[in-house]
Amino acid sequence: MAAKADRQQKKDGLGATISRGVRGFGHAVSSFFKEIGAAFSQGDWRTRTSFIIMGFGCFTRKQFVKGLIYFAVEVLFILYMVFFGAHYLQDIGTLGTNLFDREWDEANQIWINIPGDNSMLILLYSVLSIFLCIFFLVIYFSNIRAAWQAQQMQTAGKKLPNFKKSLLGLLDEKLHVTLLTPPAIGVLMFTVLPVVFMICLAFTNFDRNHQPPGHLFTWVGLDNFKDIFGGNQLKSYTFFSLLLWTVIWAIFSTFINYFLGMLIALMINKKGIKLKGLWRTLFVVSIAVPAFVTLLLMRNMLQDAGTINVLLQDVLGWTDAPIHFLTDGTLARITVIIVNYWIGIPYSIIITSGILMNIPADLYESARIDGAGPWKQFTRITTPYMLFITTPYLITQFIQNFNNFNAIYFLTAGGPQTLAYYQAGSTDLLVTWLYKLTVQWQDYNLASTIGILVFVICAVISLATFNLTASAKREETFQ
Amino acid sequence: MKNSIKARRRFGNGVVYVVLAALGLLWISPIVYLVISSFRAEKGSFLDGYIMPRGYTLDNYVRLFTDTDQFNYPRWFLNTFVVAVCSCIISTLFVLMVAYALSRLRFKMRRPIMNIALVLGMFPGFMSMIAIYHLLKVINLDKTLVALVLVYSAGAGLTYYITKGFFDTIPKAMDEAAILDGATRFQVFWKITIPMSKPIITYTVLTTFMAPWLDYIMASVIMKDNYQNYTIALGMYRMLERESIYEWYTAFCAGAVIVGIPIAILFIVMQRYYVEGVTGGSVKG
């Protein structure tokens, strides 16, 4: 059953899955509200009181612990809102109006600091409060449902489950609740909440000139997006130049990397080559060293006075002057791509050599009988077969390289810096630019805008290609 | 005729050997040079006009563990180890829980949850680092190791996909038999599925254990200037800053060798599962 559903999902592709998911979700929502409506129109006074006093229905039907828990949640939520949340939520429209100020205290002859609003905290706590509201609503409706179900069971003459039984149910028929809740809380707190917060920042003017607590920032609508799409020439030039470079970088370090790795794997797997284990180990050893170590090592060796230049100049005598591997804009771009091959190709070798051995030998056999040479076998059998199996891997690889922070940051830190760009260097990817804008320059609004755009680009690329490959798979080329 | 084919093949193989040897040399020499530099007696980040060091010493290794005022390598190593162990336990549990629920249990929100997870997974993680930092500051956990553990493991539930694929391949008949015998679904999960999933658990444990050793970006945002709580990657990056690189470069190499050894061992153990992992189990390498 599950396998069938999953196969169905793969066949339809991602778009259809999502649209079905949305439809299913809508259906679930409508049936949910019907139930709540029924609880209100047909419920007795105990069920209806649960709309105001949570847990009332359960409590008066002798589900004491359950009822008390619901009630406690309501009390805690109201306390939180009254003493904390509401204070921040009412400022969300302006993100604060009172600046930090000082006042001369005539009586004591001192300056008194009057703390102002902190836009950042207002936004953060508001987002947090909205999350808590949603969470509370979920519990609120589950309280009504519980009361309604208890009433129905009682009318039907069934015995209501006591608290101990409900707890045991969490390990059995409701196990999914137990298993999913802790990870879901983690994801909500450390993924969803920060992402929502950052999306909000993209619509504010939270840059280096508007840093709380000394200054306030506020909503500016789509200004940051307008800046990037032409409004601010420097920023938009930087964005599109870096986007172009990021795409070039991702293509080079994904596809060419993959083919070079496949070639080496083919050489290692070639019939009659001995010591296959030794060759493979030679390449794989480099994976075992942490990437930040090798990248920092490479950075050091590629300096103007570094080992490579010493080797070329003094030992071998091939060059007279040092080559500016990392300090010349264009050369630096080439260098980072090549160094990234050194890091990436061993991974490609591992991945491809496993799959290469799985290609059915009779495919080659019949090709040879038909007179196909090695090149033809490579382009007509090996390549299509490999692409067929590894497309999902290649897509994730592409996205990873698009966001490959480490390779650039450790090698060049985005440098060499250039004045043509807004706070970026020639080798900066969009991600390293984003990192610099947040950590070094505190232009949070611009950084969040870039983050959203990067997300949109990555999501479109992966959705489109997943869909394309899903339709390609329907042709059942290799079955 | 036959001879010429044989000769051609031998020639072809000869070319392949030469290419492989050249490439192999290219790949292995930086690592060999790293090891050599870690025993180098001369200071500085590079040698002036020659390549092989003229003197060798063990001091670089000794120094890492004795001269800890500025760069507290043993402390960082311990920090990273503790963070790695904790986050690896939590992450692995989270991944197994989510994967099992989505693979084996049937409930209304199953599909919507999977779709939401898919979209969430596409947000670049570093995008939210500033928000995470302020969030941690609010609960007074910024610049602490606990924060690092939380950051590395809280989102782990989203990476359930490979493990779910593995669970999907375990025959369902076993579960059903156990439930007929009166086992609860939790017992099925804990006593039947988990013991049968050794390979995928090994894979998850090793990948999540390795992450803190390799991460720089999150650690740097969270720790800021709190040297005592640095992780290895962060601390070693500081060694190569302009003020300290001359004094500390060879020690950096020694430190790299020390970190490299456990990671290399883990990787060799994991290699078997790695291919299966990234290709979603469609290939047995």
Pairwise CA distance, residues A48 & A55, whole Å: 11
The verdict on residue B43 lying in a domain is no
Contact B218/B230 with Cβ under 8 angstroms?
no
Helix (H, G, I), strand (E, B) or coil at B228: helix
Helix (H, G, I), strand (E, B) or coil at A106: coil
- Closest among A73, A43, A70, A74 to A166, alpha carbons compared: A70
CATH number of residue B208's parent domain: 1.10.3720.10
The residue type of A102 is R
Cross-chain residue pair A198–B217, CB shorter than 8 Å = no
The verdict on residue B198 lying in a domain is yes
Pairwise CA distance, residues B265 & B258, whole Å: 12
Q: Tens digits of per-residue pLDDT, A174-201?
A: 888 889 999 999 998 888 888 898 889 8
Does the CB of A433 have a partner CB in chain B at under 8 Å?
A: no
Q: Which of A191, A386, A394 to mutate to test the interface with B (most CBs of B within 10 A)?
A: A191
CA distance A35 to chain B (A): 15
The structure tokens listed for B180 are: 């007929």
The structure tokens listed for A123 are: 């936004």
- Closest among B80, B125, B44 to A292, alpha carbons compared: B80
Nearest CA in chain A to B14: A273
- Which positions in chain A touch B112 (Cβ < 8 Å)? 21, 24-25, 28
Cross-chain residue pair A267–B274, CB shorter than 8 Å = no
Contact A465/A387 with Cβ under 8 angstroms?
no
Considering only the beta carbons, identify the residue of B101, B124, B186 that sits closest to A454: B124
Cross-chain residue pair A462–B122, CB shorter than 8 Å = yes
The structure tokens listed for A19 are: 């649209």
Considering only the beta carbons, identify the residue of B31, B98, B120 that sits closest to A180: B98
CA distance A278 to chain B (A): 10
Pairwise CA distance, residues B102 & B263, whole Å: 32
Q: Which of A132, A187, A280 to mutate to test the interface with B (most CBs of B within 10 A)?
A: A187
- Which positions in chain A touch B101 (Cβ < 8 Å)? 175-176, 179-180
Say which DSSP state B159 is in. Answer: G
The verdict on residue B33 lying in a domain is no
Going residue by residue through chain A (479 aa), what tens digit of pLDDT does each one get? 344 444 444 445 555 666 666 676 777 778 878 888 888 888 888 888 888 888 888 888 888 888 899 999 999 999 999 888 888 888 888 777 777 777 777 888 887 777 777 888 888 889 889 999 999 998 998 888 888 888 888 888 887 777 788 888 888 888 888 899 999 999 988 888 888 988 898 898 888 888 877 788 888 888 889 988 988 888 899 999 999 999 999 999 999 999 999 999 888 888 778 887 788 888 888 887 888 888 988 888 888 888 888 888 888 878 888 888 888 888 999 999 999 999 889 888 888 887 787 778 888 888 888 888 888 888 888 888 888 777 778 888 888 898 888 889 888 888 788 888 888 888 899 989 988 888 888 888 898 899 889 988 888 887 787 777 665 555 445 54
- Which positions in chain B touch A180 (Cβ < 8 Å)? 97-98, 101, 113, 157
Does the CB of A17 have a partner CB in chain B at under 8 Å?
A: yes
Contact A36/A144 with Cβ under 8 angstroms?
yes
Cross-chain residue pair B20–A267, CB shorter than 8 Å = yes
Contact B80/B213 with Cβ under 8 angstroms?
yes
Considering only the beta carbons, identify the residue of B112, B118, B138 that sits closest to A25: B112
Pairwise CA distance, residues A329 & A351, whole Å: 33
The verdict on residue B147 lying in a domain is yes
Give the domain extent around B73.
61-278
Contact B130/A120 with Cβ under 8 angstroms?
no
Pairwise CA distance, residues A154 & A57, whole Å: 11
**Domains in chain B: how many in total?**
1
The verdict on residue B27 lying in a domain is no
Cross-chain residue pair A393–B279, CB shorter than 8 Å = yes
Say which DSSP state B56 is in. Answer: B
Helix axes A233-251, A444-473, angle to 10 degrees: 40
Nearest CA in chain A to B220: A439
The residue type of A446 is L
Pairwise CA distance, residues B272 & B266, whole Å: 11
- Which positions in chain A touch B131 (Cβ < 8 Å)? 124, 193-195, 197-198, 201
The residue type of A46 is R
Contact B141/B150 with Cβ under 8 angstroms?
yes
- Which positions in chain B touch A390 (Cβ < 8 Å)? 279
Angle of CA points A327, B221, A445, to nearest 5°? 80
Cross-chain residue pair B113–A284, CB shorter than 8 Å = no
CA distance A107 to chain B (A): 35
Count of CB pairs separated by less than 8 Å, A with B: 286
Considering only the beta carbons, identify the residue of B124, B132, B186 that sits closest to A190: B132
Q: What average pLDDT does the segment B129-148 reach?
A: 85
The verdict on residue B98 lying in a domain is yes
